[in-house]
Amino acid sequence: MIEFGQPAAFWTGLAVGLPILAHMAYRRITDRHEFTSIRFITVSQIPRTGRRTPTDIALLLLRILLFLVIMFLLADPYWSSPGSPTKDAVDEEILIAIDLSPSMGGWNAMKEVKIEASKIIEGTDSRIGVIAFGQTSVLEWPMGTNKNELLDKVGGLVHGWGSGDAQVLLDRVDRIFGENALQKKLIVISDFQRGDWQSVDFDLSKKNIQLEVIRVGSGESETFRFNNQSIADVKVVPAGPEKVRVWSVVRNWSQLKKLFFVELVIGGEVQGRQAVEIPSGSSQQVQFIVPSSEVSQAKIRLDSNDSLALDNQRTVWLKAPPPKQFGFWQDSDLDEATRSEKNFLKTAVESAGDNGWNRWEESADNADGLRMAYEDSKLELLMVLGLSQWFTEEGLAEPLSTYLKSGGVVILTPSEIFSETASIIREANWFKFSFIRVAGGASAVRNPFRIGALEEGSKLSDTFSGKSARDLYLTAFRKFGILNGVDDTTDIALRDREGRPLSLSKSFASGGRLIFFPFRLNTSWSDLPLRTSFLPLLMELIRKENGEDQAWPILEPGEQFGAGEQPFVAEKPGVYRHGGKWIEVVFPSAESVVDTVTDDEILNRLSQAVISEKNSEGVDSASINKDKNSLWLWFAIIAATLLTIEMIWSRPIQSVQNKKGVSNA
Amino acid sequence: MVASADKDLLKSSHLSKIADFRLLAKVVVDGGMPGIHRSLRQGRGNEFFQYRPYNPGDDLKVVDWKVYAKREELVAKTFQEDTNFNLFLVLDTSASMGYQGANASCTKLHYASMLAACFAYIGFKQGDRVGLFAYGEEVQEWIRPASGHSHFGRIVNAITRLEASGVNKHETAWDQLVGNMPGRSMVVFLSDFLEAEELLPERLKFALSSRYEALCLQVLDREEMELPKGDALRFVELEGGREVSTSPEIIKHEYLRKMNHFKEVLARNLAGVSAEFECLFSDQNLGHALRRFLGLRNRNM
């Protein structure tokens, strides 16, 4: 029996085809007539008198047939023969899918889920299975599981912590149904929270699966679902000697203004309590300053009677993240130029942080440790100032290379004798270039060198624009080493206006970075350190491609930290220690969202409309298992054949001189 | 005698079946219109005509002494005398002359060729020097005027070879013709003169001279006056390929009015330069045209 996948194509085909056929049937055909002169022949309206010669009628019929075949083609025809029911055929299978995302932990959703699921299990004679899904398809009881066992298992379900993903369920659901089921029905019980369902896309109709949705956690009052307050963010930062600031952001998802309390709990005791009044759909910051103590963790919680309690508290480490450390290598006999350079750089880098999560701190010990080739010495940035003979004498090239290979960032500046610096760099094979001479000097003070336009699309051109770019371009270089023949592996972030390099840098596979300024960072060589653009320039140049945030790792349940044999996998919100790292696991923020997806949206996303339509036409359950053979190819062949015949038939007849020809439609 | 010309023998539908123009001309002139032309002048021409008995009193110079030596009989040689009159036949062979309407028995060119052959035969019989100038997009045949039997044969052969093709280049052809016109001539134009009502009189100013006569015979197909039948036709111009779709039934009256006006303008302009004009249809018998030709020819004798 022939059926159609897209029966609506017939209506479209008729709507388009009938006017065309009517036009063709009554189209006026003009005879070609060769004539001596058309000088006195004027254009006139041609009477519409349809030709009805036998040839035209046959051609018209052919064209009608061609249209019909094309309409059939567009309607996706297939031949279906009722499949013979096998011995093991089952009338109906029902799969109950239960949402276990964290949002189900509120709004009374889990309790309603158990009631609804139990009703279904007890009230059906069909084969039944249950799948409970959260971030992954966590629990599964296959089709045919004993009803009592199912009731028992469903009664013991609790919500998960990982952010929900309904797509996991849909990708899995087809494999749970048996192949011999004549009718497959999926019943989803969920709160349909937008965060979990907004990206769902699956065509259940292709799998012949009927869908039923049961919404839970919506309550009876209109405002029930929207009554939620949550802790959106918490951070701990230094707040002066022996003190830390616990900084939090609290959000009111409710449709009404809410007054509630935010409490800081340390060591089981409430150390601070603040009342906050937040308008509908707004957030507010709340801060507590507490002394650093022996107790290492604290809890921020909301004293609120909202519908989702899981997002009302957050546990944090009561300590600020460690600062990034930097250090210097210089000649032990420090000259005035190098001292000035060092002071500039120390002040600049220390001021680059925000005194919170991104602080910089000088560590002379760690710098010396590196100099002594102690591998345990941690340093984020090493600045080697006035690179000259002392560097070679101390044999520092190798420890520096090792540091670079381990992911360190190094800045090199030349000594007053530039050629010595150039030799050391070339010998260590850090950069390849030719040193020409040092440009400028006392005679050029009034006519300094300036930075040329930044290369379009480069990192620096993205950073500098407007006033900051103008400040950078006004930088005066009085002296710098002219380098030539720089190899292709070296990035030249800065050039003077004649295209000569003012900054060489090279990235290493480890993430390490080596930067060489061919000028000294003091005012006798350049006024760059005095410029406000200096600090962003310096930070941009030393920024590693895959630089890690200095703050504690903050994970959501289900996420993983670290690689190797023992990675940390977050399961529940809280604070954890793993491999020397202080880790915070937080409640998934998306689960606090109170919006839900409507039933219509769900049905649209899962193509349920098609299924409903089929059912309304009274298709019996046996027809679901029909064998379908597509006839598309056959209709395509027929259409192509008819089109060819039509084209040959109606081709223009070649006119012969002095003989009348007919221009065919 | 002239009235007897309007017989079936002169019908173009019959004559068009005769492929040999030489025979056709003889049939028309000697059979269809016997005695319409002046008899040949016999005298001191160049071409031998016939023997006749010597009449006492004739100049002894006409006696053929060789015949006398053989037969001892005095016979006089007669010669065809040249009239010193040039008949120039000008034929338009452009593509439009190849038109043949649904009811016509031949193309316009064929009809014009039949007339030209007859004119040439009459000229030959009267001892005129006959020339031929046929042109379409370029000159197809150009035979300078001469007399004699063999020359007539050349003229007829050339007429037989004519084919209708190309776009009419009246201006170029006529300029070429007028520049080589022999003295004391009668020029017979056979063309449809389409779109030439302004151009042709300008080129025929030579007809104002007493030495020249111009006879312009416009050859048209009946459909060119009445338009072919049909509800809707896509007219494609034979020369140029322009097209226009129209209903002949609707535009028929307007078209006829314009065509008549065109013919009036053409006739008036030709009269202005003392050129004779006659419009002929390709389904018309040849008698009328021949009479018109002879009338003008005899006026010049």
Q: Determine which of A401-405, A420-424, B29-33, B278-282 has the lowest per-residue pLDDT on average.
A: B29-33
A37 touches chain B (CB under 8 A): yes
Split at pLDDT 50, 70, 90, the class of A547 is: low
pLDDT of the residue at A609: 44
Contact B108, B100 (CB under 8 A): yes
Interface of A with B in 377-416 (CB under 8 A): none
Confirm if A307 and A379 have CB atoms less than 8 A apart: no
Please tell me the distance from the alpha carbon of residue A273 to that of residue A266, in angstroms, as a whole number: 12
The answer, yes or no, to whether residue A314 has pLDDT greater than 80, is yes
Q: Which domains does chain A have, with CATH numbers?
A: 2-83+629-649 (no CATH), 93-224+598-619 (3.40.50.410), 229-320+585-592 (2.60.40.10), 324-542 (3.40.50.880)
Q: What dihedral do alpha carbons A452, A456, A461, A465 form, nearest 10°?
A: 80
CB contact under 8 A, A44 and B237: no
Crossing angle (nearest 10°) for helices A147-155 and A109-122: 170
Interface of A with B in 158-187 (CB under 8 A): none
Are A223 and A256 in contact, with CB atoms under 8 Å apart? yes
**Any A CB within 8 A of B265 CB:** no
pLDDT tens across A15-24, in order? Answer: 777 777 766 6
Q: What is the pLDDT of residue B92?
A: 93
Instruction: Give the pLDDT band (50/70/90) at residue B94.
Output: very high
Residue A10's contacts (CB-CB under 8 Å, 6 or more residues apart) are A4, A71, A75
- Which pLDDT score is estimated for A239? 76
Amino acid B221: pLDDT: 93
> Mind listing the pLDDT tens digit for each residue in A372-394?
877 767 888 999 999 999 999 88
B182-223: per-residue pLDDT in tens? Answer: 777 888 999 998 888 888 888 787 767 777 888 889 999 999
pLDDT band for position A181 (cuts 50, 70, 90): confident
**Average of pLDDT values for B108-128?**
88
DSSP of A592-653:
G---B--HHHHHHHTTHHHHHHHHHTT--GGGGG-EEEE-HHHHHHHHHHHHHHHHHHTSPP
- CB-based contact A484:A434 (threshold 8 Å): yes
* Number of residues written out for chain A: 665
Model pLDDT for residues A481-490, shown as the tens digit of each residue: 999 888 888 9
Q: Which chain B residues in 36-95 lie under 8 Å from chain A, judged by CB atoms?
A: none
Q: How confident is the model at residue A549 (pLDDT cuts 50, 70, 90)?
A: low
Per-residue pLDDT, A354: 63
Question: Does residue B23 belong to the interface with chain A, where contact is any CB pair within 8 Å?
Answer: no
Residues in B closer than 8 angstroms to A40, CB to CB, are: 254-255, 258-259, 262
* pLDDT band for position B48 (cuts 50, 70, 90): low
Q: Check if B254 contacts A (Cβ < 8 Å).
A: yes
CB contacts under 8 A, B 208-237 vs A, are 221, 224, 227-228, 230-237
Pairing of strands A137-141, A127-133: antiparallel
Who has greater pLDDT, A355 or A318? A318
What pLDDT score was predicted for residue A657?
Answer: 38
Check CB contact under 8 Å for A36 and B194.
yes
Higher pLDDT among residues A506 and A219, named by residue: A506
Closest CA to A554 of A232, A295, A263: A232
pLDDT at residue number A378: 80
pLDDT value at position A612? Answer: 40
Is there a contact between A478 and A525 (Cβ–Cβ < 8 Å)? yes
Taking the CA of residue B223 and the nearest CA in chain A, the distance in Å comes to 9
A219 Ramachandran zone, left/alpha/beta (phi>0; psi -120 to 50): left
Contact between chains at A37 and B245 (C-beta distance less than 8 A):
no
Enumerate the residues of chain A whose CB falls inside 8 A of the CB of residue B112.
none
Q: What are phi and psi of A2, to 5 degrees?
A: -85, 135
CA distances from A32 to A24, A60, A318, A373 (A): 19, 21, 97, 100
B29 vs A469, more confident = A469
The pTM for the full model equals: 0.44
Which residue would you say has higher pLDDT here, A56 or A186? A186
The yes-or-no verdict on residue A545 having pLDDT over 70 is: no
Q: Per-residue DSSP letters for A205-226?
A: GGGTEEEEEEE-S--SSTTTTT
Q: Are A36 and B192 an interchain contact pair (Cβ–Cβ within 8 Å)?
A: yes
- Let me know if A305 is exposed, middle or buried by CB neighbors in 10 A (0-12, 13-18, 19+): exposed
Highest mean pLDDT among A135-139, A243-247, B179-183, B252-256: B252-256
What distances in angstroms separate CA A633 from CA A5, A10, A61, A183, A300, one per listed residue? 14, 18, 23, 30, 67
pLDDT at position B299: 64
Q: How confident is the model at residue B9 (pLDDT cuts 50, 70, 90)?
A: low
Q: For the ranges A154-163, A394-403, A546-555, which has the lowest average pLDDT?
A: A546-555
Closest CA to B90 of B30, B36, B44, B145: B145
- Rounded Cα distance, B73 and A207, in Å: 128
Average pLDDT over residues A425-450: 82
Round to whole Å and give the CA distance between A15 and A624. 31
Nearest to A510 by CA among A363, A389, A404, A411: A404
Looking at beta carbons, which residues of chain B come within 8 Å of A662?
none
Please tell me the predicted confidence (pLDDT) of residue B113: 92
Query: In this predicted structure, what is the pLDDT of residue A329?
Result: 92
Residue B186: strand, helix, or coil: strand
**Tens-digit pLDDT profile for residues A230-282:** 998 888 877 777 788 888 999 998 888 888 899 999 888 888 899 999 988 88
Cβ within 8 Å of A, B 91-120? 96, 98-100, 107
pLDDT of residue B64: 87
d(CA B26, CA B62): 30
| A221 close to B (CB below 8 A) | no
Least confident segment among A634-648, B3-17, B214-228: B3-17
Taking CB atoms and an 8 Å cut-off, how many pairs form between chains A and B?
94
Per-residue confidence (pLDDT) for residue A463, from 0 to 100: 80
| DSSP character at residue A165 | -
Of A34, A46, A657, the CB nearest to B245: A46
CB contact under 8 A, A47 and B232: yes
Mean pLDDT of chain A: 80
Lowest model confidence (mean pLDDT) among A445-459, A520-534, B102-116: A445-459
Q: To 5 degrees, how large is the angle CA B284–CA B288–CA B293?
A: 130
Cβ of residue B195 closer than 8 Å to a chain A Cβ: yes
Asked if B99 and A49 come within 8 Å (Cβ–Cβ), the reply is no
- The answer to whether the Cβ–Cβ distance between A33 and B235 falls below 8 Å is yes
Question: Is the CB of A44 less than 8 angstroms away from the CB of B250?
Answer: yes
Q: Evaluate if residue A665 carries a pLDDT over 70.
A: no
Q: Answer whether A41 sits within 8 Å of B251, measured CB to CB.
A: yes
**Share of residues in chain A with pLDDT > 90 (%):** 8
Each residue of A91-124: pLDDT tens digit?
788 888 888 888 888 888 888 888 988 888 888 8
Per-residue confidence at A88, pLDDT binned at 50, 70, 90? low
pLDDT reading at A83 higher than 60: no
User: What's the pLDDT at A654?
Assistant: 43
Q: Please compute the mean of the pLDDT values over residues A174-185 and round it to a whole number.
A: 79
User: ipTM of this complex > 0.85?
Assistant: no
Band (pLDDT 50/70/90 cuts) for residue A564 is low
Give the pLDDT score at A410.
93
When pLDDT is cut at 50, 70 and 90, the band that residue B41 belongs to is low
Beta strands, E only, A126-268 = 127-133, 137-141, 181-190, 209-215, 229-238, 243-252, 258-266
Residue A73, CA distances (Å) to A35, A68, A634, A638 in order:
46, 8, 9, 10
More confident position, A445 or A544: A544
CB < 8 Å to B230, chain A: 31, 33
Compute the nearest-CA separation of B214 from chain A (Å).
25
Q: What is the mean pLDDT of residues A447-474?
A: 83
**A566 part of contact set with chain B, CB < 8 Å:** no
Q: How confident is the model at residue A501 (pLDDT cuts 50, 70, 90)?
A: very high
Contact B258 A40 (CB under 8 A): yes
Does A359 have pLDDT greater than 50? yes
Tell me the shortest Cα–Cα distance from A642 to chain B, in angstroms.
29
Any B CB within 8 A of A563 CB? no
Q: How confident is the model at residue A611 (pLDDT cuts 50, 70, 90)?
A: very low
The pLDDT value recorded for residue A655 is 40
CB contacts of B136 in chain A (<8 Å) are none
Please name the residues between 38 and 77 in chain A that touch chain B, using a CB distance below 8 Å: 38-47, 49
* Mean pLDDT calculated for residue range B264-275: 88
pLDDT of residue A412: 93
Task: For residue A659, give the chain B residue with the closest CA.
Answer: B100
* pLDDT the model gives residue A625: 46
